[in-house]
Each structure stands twice: as C-alpha cells, then as structure tokens.
Amino acid sequence: MANAVILDVEPTRSVRQAEVGAVKTMIDRVQKKHDLIPERLITDTAYGSGPMLDWLVEKRGIAPHIPVIDKSGRKDGTSERADFTYDGENDLYIFPNGKELKKPLRAYQTGTSGANKDETIRYRASKFDCDICPLKQRCCPREPQRKVTRSIYEPSWDVARALSQPQQYAISCRLRKKVEMSFAHLKRIHGLERLRLSGPSRDHGFAITLPATHVALMMNLFSPQPPRTSKS
C-alpha cells in the first residue's frame, strides 16, 4: 500500500451489491495467486453491511477499517439501545435499573439463536418489571414492555466500531488516498471511466492498461536514481 501497487482489478456495474461482491472476489483471487491476505480493508460506508463485515471478520480475519452508521438512535427522547448494557456471557441486555431483557423462551428451549427473518434477535423485558418500573414513561410509554433489537452481525459491527477511532481511522484514510490516486490515473489519463460490456473492446482495457502502468511504477521504484547535484 505504501507504493500504491494495484494487485487486482474487477470491473463491475455501479451497483452496490456488485461492488461488494467484487471486493470478495479480488481478496480471494489475490490470496490464491499471490498468497497474500490483507491485514485490513479500508472502504467507505457502502461496504459496512452486516454480511460483509461478518465475512471479513469471521471468515477471513481481516480488520474492517470501515465507518459504521448507527441507526439505533431514537428521535422521540425515549431510552435508546445504547442505554442498555449487553451481557455477552448470558446473552441478554441489562437496563440501568438492573432489570434484564431476554430472548424469547422458545429460543432457549430449542437451542436456536432466536433470530428472525430480518436477521435480528429481539430481547424483551418482563411485563411485570415494566409495569412497576419508575422509568417506564421514559423507556416505553406506548408499549406494555420494552424490546431491544440486536443484529446477528453485531459482533462484527463492534469490531468495526472499535477500529474507527479518530486517530487510527485518519491514518487509514491517508493510506487509502494513495491507492485511489492510482485508480484516478487509470480513469482520467487512460480513459477507463466506464466499463464496456459489449463490442470488441469489452473490459480488456483494464487487462492491458494495468500491467503497463505497473511497469512504469516498477521502473521508478527500482531503477537507480541519478545523483542529485547541488546548485552553487
């Protein structure tokens, strides 16, 4: 990354699903061809979906330097999910007053995760606890009991959040700009702004232009530099 060497390219349509799939393809292809596995992936929020982060963290062991947008906040002034503490050992949430929110009983009985079709798990407080709770009007004034939703990909999101500290992420952004400059050069100078899916040229421009730019880069990196002469 220090020398902005591009190891692989994968042209796609300007569709997020296609671009995310291309990232996976390139990571696997570089590992197979060059026996290289990146330590981290630096991208924007478009690549911060739960399945993508889970693939990076759990299946490939790659640190996701990807900003995560937290959509769990509330605009009505009631208690947010951040006000609850997650107990990973017992798999439950704890409200500031010490009351617990647990998964549905059937999840414990069947030994399943209790996840819904939207890949989330809902934790519920006891209705009895909510009825006598002095904080009910601030927590769930319009509901009989409080519910908290947790994505099955939350552990991977937690990893991404921990890596998105201002100083560390700023360093990653500077490194990312080096590589993006190389791609910008391909687009502006060599005319690879659009992917051609039909006609004789198709996407062969990438296969031809990229090696040529690498030859020029290697010459600059490894060719002996002439000695500098000082001006008198």
Torsion of CA 89, 151, 42, 172, to 10 degrees: -50
Domain boundaries, the chain: 16-67+164-217, 81-151
Specify the pLDDT at position 175.
74
Domain range 16-67+164-217, CATH class = alpha beta
- At 56-104, the pLDDT tens digits run 999 999 999 888 877 777 888 888 888 999 999 999 999 988 999 998 8
Does the pLDDT of residue 12 top 70, yes or no?
Answer: yes
Average pLDDT over the chain, rounded to an integer:
79
